[in-house]
């Protein structure tokens, strides 16, 4: 099973490396959308700092969605999906490997460049790590949820629109948690502080 | 080995075939014949588990294939209409991935040898291959699938030149000679004579 997963991830990464345009489109989309907001709203640092996590997360979400349609479609068109269906490993392994490869190609680069994007929004440098980490943890979930939608809409006419309608509502919890990470981190960066605040909310006596 | 009982296939509200039963044993070569649209490809897809019949059942060694899942998949090679090759990869990379997915252990020299038999350069990207060469690159998998008992081949001779057709015929006969079974579709009546034929 591991050999199958490794082969699928290796193959998809190799295809992405040799067809860079697909990766570049998602990444450029992310950069352009996140850069449009400061241009449109104006140089108001407090406002930009407040909207930064939401804008970056929504852009990451839409960028991930942009490449989702191709997750199974290319394999369906050239017949390699049939080979996977008739493979020696369970379909769950195949789907997980496909989602992992999708995240490595689309989600991980977003997490890497997010701190650079955050510079435009005047975010405090100590929050760059939180932002990157939240994207690093959240984008795999986007790929996993998206894989379900991509599989359900495979081969349908107008499947792209349907895919968005199916998947976007499911992305909402990830968006709320991901975008909220910066707010929680900026109110108190220390995990110890977060822990005591949580305890006090649960009615236990805080010793902070 | 393979049994199909009372198969009925519908596509778009039209019945392609009904109450079709067949049995494939060791050393069998079975050709599925019929006009375009008669359901040859659909029958092969049903036999390998990629599609389900409206009625009837397919059994492998007495067990329904639905129940066997990957165990059945490991016992067959299916080469369909689509080449199953990635344009961005080389012929050797494609064949290596295909073999890994199918659970076939194939060394790098074995892969190169298989492609060499079909006169395909291993390092050539598939995007630069002609239609016939793509077909040969896909069929090179057969040279590495000697241990897989059941071969289901959809139009294996399509787009091939005489030399490649002869090689496929040789591989198919050798497989049947080793105790394997081959079910295939073709419009070329001359290919693989002395085989059982089912007309749809």
Q: Residues A57-105: pLDDT tens digits? A: 999 999 989 888 889 999 999 999 999 999 888 999 999 999 999 999 9
Share of residues in chain A with pLDDT > 70 (%)? 88
Quote the minimal CA–CA distance from B45 to chain A in Å: 10
Share of chain B above pLDDT 90, in %: 66
Q: What distance in Å separates residue A134's CA from the closest CA in chain B?
A: 33
In a domain, A206, yes or no: no
Measured CA to CA, the distance from residue A198 to residue A180 in angstroms comes to 15
Contact A80 B86 (CB under 8 A): yes
Selected residue of A88, A93, A101 to mutate for chain B interface (largest B Cβ count, 10 A): A88
Contacts of B93 in chain A (CB under 8 A): 11, 14
DSSP chain B: -EEEEEEEEEETTEEEEEEEEEEE-TT-EEEEE--TTSSHHHHHHHHHTSS--SEEEEEETTEEHHHHTHHHHTTEEEE-SS----TTSBHHHHHHHHHHHHT----HHHHHHHHHHTT--TTSBGGGS-HHHHHHHHHGGGGG-TT-SEEEEESTTTT--HHHHHHHHHHHHHHHHTT-EEEEE-S-TTSS-S-EEEE-
On the question of pLDDT at B111 being above 90, the answer is: yes
Contact status, residue B196 vs residue B163, Cβ threshold 8 Å: no
Contact A86 B49 (CB under 8 A): yes
Angstrom distances, CA of residue A88 to CA of A5, B59, B81, B100: 11, 18, 21, 8
For residue B168, what pLDDT is reported?
Answer: 92
Q: Is residue A159 part of a domain?
A: yes
Q: How far is A15 from chain B (nearest CA, A)?
A: 6
Q: What is the mean pLDDT of chain A?
A: 87
Locate the chain A residue with the closest alpha carbon to B99. A87
**Cβ contact B84–A15 (<8 Å):** no
Confidence band (pLDDT; 50, 70, 90) for A198?
low
- Of the ranges A139-143, A164-168, A182-186, B196-200, which one carries the lowest mean pLDDT score? A182-186
* Token pair in block for residue B169: 């015929």
Mean of pLDDT values over B67-81: 90
pLDDT score at A202: 63
Give the closest of A15, A87, A89 to B86, CB-based. A15
Conformation bin of residue B62: beta by default, left when phi > 0, alpha when psi is -120 to 50: left
* pLDDT for res A208: 46
User: Which pLDDT band holds residue B121 (cuts at 50, 70, 90)?
Assistant: very high
**Token pair listed for A175:** 């968006």
Name the closest residue on chain A to residue B104, using Cα atoms.
A88
Structure tokens of A38? 């400061």
Q: Which residue of B has its CA nearest to A79?
A: B84
Q: How many inter-chain contacts (A to B, CB under 8 Å) are there?
A: 75
What local confidence, expressed as pLDDT, does residue A197 receive?
A: 61
First to last CA, chain A: 49
pTM metric for this prediction: 0.85
Cβ-Cβ contacts under 8 Å for A147 (sequence gap 6 or more) = A68, A71, A72, A95, A98, A99, A102
- With an 8 Å Cβ cutoff, are A87 and B102 in contact? yes
Contact B98 A83 (CB under 8 A): yes
pLDDT of A180 over the 70 cut? yes
Residue A208 lies in a domain: no
Contacts of A78 in chain B (CB under 8 A): 82-87
Are B84 and A14 within 8 A, CB to CB?
no
Q: Of B199, B196, B200, B155, which is closest to residue B27 (Cα–Cα)?
A: B196
Q: Is A19 on the interface with B (CB under 8 A)?
A: yes
**CA of A3: how far to CAs of A68, A75, B53, B104, B122, in Å?**
24, 19, 32, 11, 22
Instruction: Decide if A207 is inside a domain.
Output: no
In a domain, A166, yes or no: yes
Number of domains in chain A: 1
Enumerate the residues of chain B whose CB falls inside 8 A of the CB of residue A80.
84-86
How far is Cα A35 from Cα A13, in angstroms, rounded to an integer? 28
Closest CA to A57 of A125, A3, A130: A130
| Strands of the sheet with B29-33, listed across from one edge | B76-79, B150-154, B181-185, B29-33, B196-199
**Interface contact flag, B70 A78, Cβ < 8 Å:** no
Write out residues 85-144 of A within 8 Å (CB-CB) of B: 85-90
Domain range enclosing A182: 2-201
Can you tell me the distance from the alpha carbon of A185 to that of B9, in angstroms, rounded to the nearest whole number?
A: 60
> Which among A71, A62, A55 has a CA at the least distance from the CA of A28?
A62
Q: What is the pLDDT of residues A24-53, one digit of tens each?
A: 998 999 999 999 998 888 888 889 888 888
Note whether residue A30 is domain-resident. yes
Q: Grade residue A199 by pLDDT with cuts at 50, 70 and 90.
A: low
CA distance A72 to chain B (A): 13
């Amino acid at each position: 099973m591991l050999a199958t997963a490794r082969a699928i991830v290796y193959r998809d990464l190799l295809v992405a490396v040799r067809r860079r345009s697909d990766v570049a489109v998602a990444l450029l989309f992310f950069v352009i959308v996140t850069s449009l907001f400061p241009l449109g709203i104006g140089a108001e640092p407090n406002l930009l700092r407040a909207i930064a996590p939401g804008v970056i997360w929504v852009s990451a979400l839409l960028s991930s969605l942009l490449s989702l349609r191709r997750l199974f479609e290319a394999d369906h068109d050239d017949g390699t999906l049939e080979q996977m269906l008739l493979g020696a490993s369970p379909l769950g392994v195949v789907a997980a490997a496909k989602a992992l490869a999708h995240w490595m190609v689309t989600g991980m680069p977003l997490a890497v460049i997010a701190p650079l994007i955050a510079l435009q929004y005047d975010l405090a440098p100590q929050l760059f790590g939180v932002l990157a980490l939240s994207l690093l943890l959240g984008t795999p979930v986007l790929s996993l949820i998206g894989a379900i939608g991509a599989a359900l809409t495979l081969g349908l006419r107008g499947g792209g629109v349907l895919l968005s309608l199916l998947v976007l509502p499911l992305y909402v919890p990830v968006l709320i948690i991901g975008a909220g990470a910066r707010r929680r981190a900026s109110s108190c960066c220390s995990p110890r502080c977060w822990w005591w605040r949580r305890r006090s909310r649960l009615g236990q006596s805080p010793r902070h | 080995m393979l049994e199909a009982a009372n198969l009925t296939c519908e596509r778009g509200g039209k019945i392609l075939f009904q109450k079709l039963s067949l049995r494939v044993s060791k050393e069998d070569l079975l050709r599925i014949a019929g006009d375009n649209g008669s359901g040859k490809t659909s029958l092969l897809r049903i036999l390998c588990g990629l599609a389900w019949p409206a009625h009837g059942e397919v059994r492998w060694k007495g067990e329904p294939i639905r129940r066997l899942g990957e165990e059945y998949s490991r016992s067959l090679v299916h080469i369909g209409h689509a080449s199953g090759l990635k344009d961005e990869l080389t012929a050797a990379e494609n064949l290596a991935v295909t073999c890994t997915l199918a659970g076939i252990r194939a060394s790098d020299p074995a892969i190169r040898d298989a492609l060499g038999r079909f006169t395909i350069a291993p390092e050539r990207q598939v995007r630069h291959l002609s239609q016939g060469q793509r077909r040969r690159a896909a069929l090179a998998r057969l040279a590495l699938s000697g241990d897989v008992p059941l071969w289901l081949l959809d139009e294996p001779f399509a787009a091939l030149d005489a030399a490649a057709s002869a090689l496929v015929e040789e591989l198919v006969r050798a497989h049947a000679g080793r105790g394997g079974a081959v079910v295939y579709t073709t419009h070329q009546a001359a290919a693989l004579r002395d085989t059982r034929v089912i007309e749809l």
